[in-house]
Amino acid sequence: MTNSAGAAKQRKIAILGTTPSRMQAPLKDESWEIWTIGPGGKDANRWSRLFETHTVWPLDFGELKDDKSYLDDLSKVDGEQSVYSIVDMKTHLPRWAHDHGKNDDWLKANVRGEWKTNVVIDREALFTKYRRMWFSTSICYALALAIEEGATDIGCWGIDLESGEEYISQHAGCAHFLDLARLLGINLHFPNGCGLTRDLNPYPDRYETHLSLTLEKKAAWLQHMIGEHEPQYEAVRAEMFRIEGASIILKKILARNTPVTQEEIALADQELMNANRKQGQLASNINHLKGELSATQYYRRMYVWGMIDPA
């Protein structure tokens, strides 16, 4: 998928995510710069620029294991590679270490490089020009910088953003910058089936699709069924406790040689087993309905907010 650009001198930038289509990127074509994202991209392929736009990380991102860690590796990047971040990594990491209960000596022993090629993104300048709301993922920073630096071609591989938060907010941010690039005449490149190429339905079709209304109706029905089953479950549970109590009393009476027959106790035990069985069936039904409701709501979040009915 491309559109023509009139720039005489080409600058082609491939932005790589972590889904399988990243391996379709032009990794062997040296005319393409390869920009990648975070720990998922660090060791996956060649790159000249890595975006690490977080400011907090799990401890094991920096704690050495077998003499390696993600942050230690990034701190040693040199030469033609650069690490792009939104904070100065060397001055920010002590706070991160202290938040994990570690001191400066521990940090020096575990993150040993000098961050020679760390580049701090001028976020405020980007926010002023493009507005803050569109920077919903590291990929948005990469796209904005590719536009700012005069790319004639931008390609996105290994990036789909098709579920949950990704689908709702991160996809919108990336789509915004891709639309800007398209309007500026930048050639856009995507692998076949890339989620970034899907086009949202307009209002009111986006919400009032047949699928969204069907899912909404089904979710309401499931809620109703759960509402009917749960009182039955509680009633059977209470009955089970009553029968269990009666059975215990009968056993105690028999132990005192009072005139209670073994058949009466057996009957009480049978009622208890039946109540237990019925309780289990109701619990299973309720859990099944709740699971189906959760799945229905998940799909509704994906496609009611989203783009097109799933095939």
Report, as an integer, the average pLDDT of 70-94.
96
Higher pLDDT, 286 or 299: 286
Question: 311: pLDDT confidence band, cut at 50, 70 and 90?
Answer: very low
Whether 300 and 167 have beta carbons less than 8 Å apart is answered as no
| 30/248 Cα distance (integer angstroms) | 81
Question: 218: pLDDT confidence band, cut at 50, 70 and 90?
Answer: confident
DSSP 4: -
Residue with tokens 């392929």: 45
Question: 212: pLDDT confidence band, cut at 50, 70 and 90?
Answer: low
Crossing angle for the helix pair 123-130 and 138-148, to the nearest 10 degrees: 80
DSSP 197: G
Element (H, E) at 14: strand 12-16
pLDDT surpasses 80 at 182: yes
What's the CA dihedral at 252, 255, 261, 266 to 10 degrees? 60
User: Tens of pLDDT along 274-293?
Assistant: 888 888 888 888 888 888 88
User: Tens of pLDDT along 122-180?
Assistant: 999 999 999 999 999 999 999 999 999 999 999 999 998 765 545 567 888 999 999 99
Question: 199: pLDDT confidence band, cut at 50, 70 and 90?
Answer: confident
- pLDDT attached to residue 304: 55
pLDDT surpasses 60 at 7: no
Average pLDDT, the chain: 85
Higher pLDDT, 263 or 260: 263
Report, as an integer, the average pLDDT of 192-203.
78
CA 306 → CA 74, 161, 224, distances in Å? 36, 11, 26
Higher pLDDT, 227 or 71: 71
